[in-house]
Each structure stands twice: as structure tokens, then as C-alpha cells.
């Protein structure tokens, strides 16, 4: 559907004019032939007439080449068919010019005398040169037009991707803010003395989410720092009762990743991890691994089957945002795997290295 809309846009914006192209082309050919036929001397009336009529005969094979042979045979890579047809086209219309050019001149311009103009083999040579030259010009013009369209299409696609990514970020940020304010609210109700530190932590987290993520890529070390701050922030609300295991194995701390890919998964684990259960608190296990071949993020959380039936569906917008982001920024370079058992929910995100 996206490609259809883009193609329709390009058709509306199409500046390609065959009439303009042919007008300019034939005007230039006329000037060149006039110069050749007069051998550089000042042309007279008879020169203009002869060149114009010669050009009319010459248009037939060139236009046949432009709109039949090139699109149907050359551009479809049917070279074995194009070559003999090109030669036949040249020979047939060159022979037609040799046979009928002078009779037509004498018929319509009987009061003029046409001498010292190409005849016989020279007409064949001139026709061949013009046919080959115009073929190259046509291919160059089509190539330029094609590349212009391709560049415009790429620009439009990039704009669409940027718009979609911005939309996805806009969906994540309010979601995160809403959850965080709930934490602050819970602390305020309990008159918890840690509320001031939590507000500072929240401020740091939001500063990162709102300002530091306005880039295409960010170092994995900063993303991990965000996760650590978020985990510490949640510990206050959970009274340190929940278990969070964080395993990190990075070969390159400056490894670049698209921002805000990881936090929604951690948020999701807290939301469904049954960590509020005072009798049997849940747990979250996070593993982050990066080497020269790939980046792997895996997160597992416990959950009660009766409380979170079919968590993959109830997770909703969080997981869908991650999937959409990955499709846009890592097409063909990622895996997104969801594994669900009776007591655990696991999400694996693997991004292949582009190096």
C-alpha cells in the first residue's frame, strides 16, 4: 500500500515530457544535419527544405526504435531479438529514403534544384549514425529520469520512516511517563522518605527519554544506564522485594543501537511480572550480549497464569511498537522471538551486525 501511494505521488509529480524531449532532440538533429549538408557554409532556402524533408524520413526509424524496439526488446534484455530488428529497421527506412526522398522533393518542390546532397551509401551511413546516437541519448534520458524518480522515491520513503519512528517514540514516551508517575504517586501515599530521590531519578530518566533519544543511534552503554536507573527507580516502589537479575556481556561499549528499543521490554516485564505479590514475589532476568556478529537482548519474567492469561496478547502496544521499530530500522537484520510457558514469559531480540 505504501509503494502504491508513493508511485501515485510520483505520477502526479511526473515532469517527464516526451513532447519536450522529442522537440529539443529533433531541433538539435536538424541543426547538425543542416551544418553537415551545407559543409559549414551559410545555408540557403534549398538547404532548409532538403534538411527538413530528410529529417521527416529519418524520424520514422528513430521513433520506431524509441517506442517499439527499445522498450519491448532492449529494456527487457531481449538482445538477440533487438539487434536484428534494429538492423532491419535501419536498412528498411534507409532504403525507403534512397528510393523516395528525391521523388518527393521533385514532386513538392519542382521549382528548386537539389544538388550535392548525400545519396546512396551516404544516406545509409547518416541514418545509422543518427540511429545509434539517438539510441544512446534515449537510454541516457531514460536512465536520468529513472534515477530522478528513484531518488524522489527514496526521499519519500525516508520521510515516511522518520514519521513512523517519531510516532512510535511518541507512543512509548507517554506510556513510560504514565507508569513512572504511578510510582511517584504510590510513594506519596505512603509518605515514603525516598520520594525526593525518586523524583530526581525520574527527572534523569525523562531527560534521557525526551532529549537524548532524538538521534538515529545511541551507544549501548547509555541504554544500559537507562535500564539500571529504571530498575533502581522501580525498587523503591517494590520495597526491594522483587528479584531482578541483570547480566551484561559487551565487547564494545560504544556499540550503536536505535534508542528506546530496550526500555519498553523492561516496562512490559514489570507490568506483567507479578512483582507486587508479597507472598511469592516474581522475578525478572535480563541478559544483554554483544559481539562482532550480533547484539542479543533477552528478558524473562515470571507471571501467574490466572492473572495474566495469554500475556503476548495483553502486552499490546509495547511489543507491537518494538516489532514496528525493528521492521523499519533493521529490515532483514533482526529476530524478535516470544516464548511463553505456564509460569514465564520471554522475549528475545537479536540484531545482526552490519559491519
Contact call for residues 54 and 114 (beta carbons, < 8 A): no
Query: How far is residue 285 from each of residues 21, 188, 192, 234, measured CA to CA in Å?
Result: 66, 29, 27, 15
Report residue 28's pLDDT band, with 50, 70 and 90 as the boundaries: very high
What's the total number of domains in the chain? 2
CATH number of the CATH domain containing 277: 3.30.565.10
Which own/partner pairs from 66-69 qualify as long-range (CB within 8 Å, at least 24 positions apart)?
A: 66/134, 66/138
DSSP 268-331: HHHHHS-TT-SSS--EEEEEEEE-SSEEEEEEEEE--TTTSSSHHHHTTHHHHHHHHHHHHHST
Asked whether residue 174 is domain-assigned, the answer is no
Together in a domain, 130 and 10:
yes
Asked whether residue 252 is domain-assigned, the answer is yes
pLDDT for 12 equals 41
Asked whether residue 171 is domain-assigned, the answer is no
Q: What is the pLDDT of residues 102-152, one digit of tens each?
A: 888 778 777 776 666 777 888 899 899 999 999 898 888 877 777 666 666
Q: What is the mean pLDDT of the chain?
A: 78
How far from chain centre, in Å, is Cα 247?
Answer: 36
Asked whether residue 170 is domain-assigned, the answer is no
Together in a domain, 226 and 93:
no
Q: Please identify, among 128, 154, 180, the residue that sits at the C-terminal boundary of a domain.
A: 154
153-181: average pLDDT: 61
- Whether the predicted model's global pTM rises above the 0.75 cut: no
Together in a domain, 210 and 345:
yes
Dist CA 78 CA 80 (whole Å) = 6
Together in a domain, 228 and 346:
yes
Q: What is the largest CA-CA distance in the chain?
A: 115
Asked whether residue 159 is domain-assigned, the answer is no
Asked whether residue 163 is domain-assigned, the answer is no
Together in a domain, 239 and 343:
yes
pLDDT for 14 equals 47
- 132 is in which domain, residue-wise? 2-154
Together in a domain, 319 and 242:
yes
Using only C-alpha atoms, the chain has a radius of gyration, in whole angstroms, of 36
Percent of the chain beyond pLDDT 90?
A: 16
Amino acid at each position: 500500500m505504501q509503494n502504491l501511494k508513493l508511485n501515485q505521488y510520483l505520477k502526479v509529480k511526473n515532469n517527464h515530457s516526451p513532447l519536450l524531449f522529442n522537440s529539443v532532440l529533433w531541433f538539435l538533429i536538424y541543426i547538425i544535419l543542416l551544418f553537415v549538408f551545407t559543409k559549414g557554409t551559410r545555408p540557403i532556402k534549398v538547404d532548409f527544405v532538403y534538411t527538413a524533408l530528410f529529417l521527416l524520413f529519418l524520424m520514422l526509424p528513430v521513433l520506431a526504435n524509441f517506442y517499439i524496439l527499445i522498450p519491448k526488446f532492449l529494456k527487457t534484455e531481449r538482445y538477440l531479438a533487438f539487434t536484428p530488428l534494429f538492423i532491419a529497421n535501419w536498412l528498411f527506412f534507409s532504403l525507403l529514403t534512397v528510393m523516395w526522398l528525391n521523388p518527393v522533393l521533385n514532386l513538392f518542390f519542382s521549382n528548386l534544384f537539389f544538388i550535392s546532397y548525400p545519396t546512396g551509401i551516404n544516406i545509409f551511413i547518416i541514418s545509422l549514425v543518427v540511429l545509434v546516437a539517438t539510441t544512446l541519448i534515449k537510454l541516457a534520458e531514460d536512465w536520468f529520469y529513472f534515477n530522478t524518480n528513484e531518488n524522489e522515491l527514496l526521499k519519500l520513503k525516508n520521510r515516511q520512516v522518520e514519521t513512523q519512528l517519531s510516532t512510535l517514540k511518541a507512543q512509548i514516551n507517554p506510556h513510560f511517563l504514565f507508569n513512572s508517575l504511578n510510582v511517584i504517586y504510590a510513594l506519596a501515599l505512603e509518605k515514603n522518605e525516598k520520594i525526593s530521590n525518586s523524583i530526581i531519578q525520574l527527572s534523569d530518566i525523562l531527560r534521557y527519554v525526551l532529549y537524548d533519544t532524538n538521534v538515529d543511534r545511541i551507544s549501548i552503554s547509555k541504554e544500559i544506564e537507562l535500564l539500571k536507573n529504571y530498575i533502581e527507580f522501580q525498587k523503591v516502589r517494590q520495597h526491594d522485594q522483587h528479584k531482578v537479575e541483570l547480566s551484561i556481556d559487551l565487547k564494545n561499549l560504544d556499540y550503536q543501537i536505535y534508542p528506546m528499543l530496550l526500555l519498553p521490554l523492561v516496562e512490559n516485564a514489570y507490568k506483567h511480572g507479578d512483582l507486587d505479590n508479597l507472598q511469592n514475589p516474581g522475578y525478572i532476568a535480563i541478559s544483554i550480549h554483544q559481539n562482532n556478529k550480533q547484539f542479543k537482548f533477552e528478558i524473562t519474567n515470571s507471571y501467574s497464569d490466572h492473572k495474566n492469561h495469554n500475556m503476548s496478547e495483553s502486552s499490546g502496544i509495547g511489543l507491537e511498537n518494538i516489532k514496528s521499530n525493528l521492521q523499519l530500522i533493521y529490515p532483514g537484520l533482526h529476530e524478535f522471538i516470544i516464548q511463553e510457558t505456564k509460569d514465564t514469559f520471554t522475549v528475545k531480540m537479536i540484531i545482526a551486525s552490519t559491519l
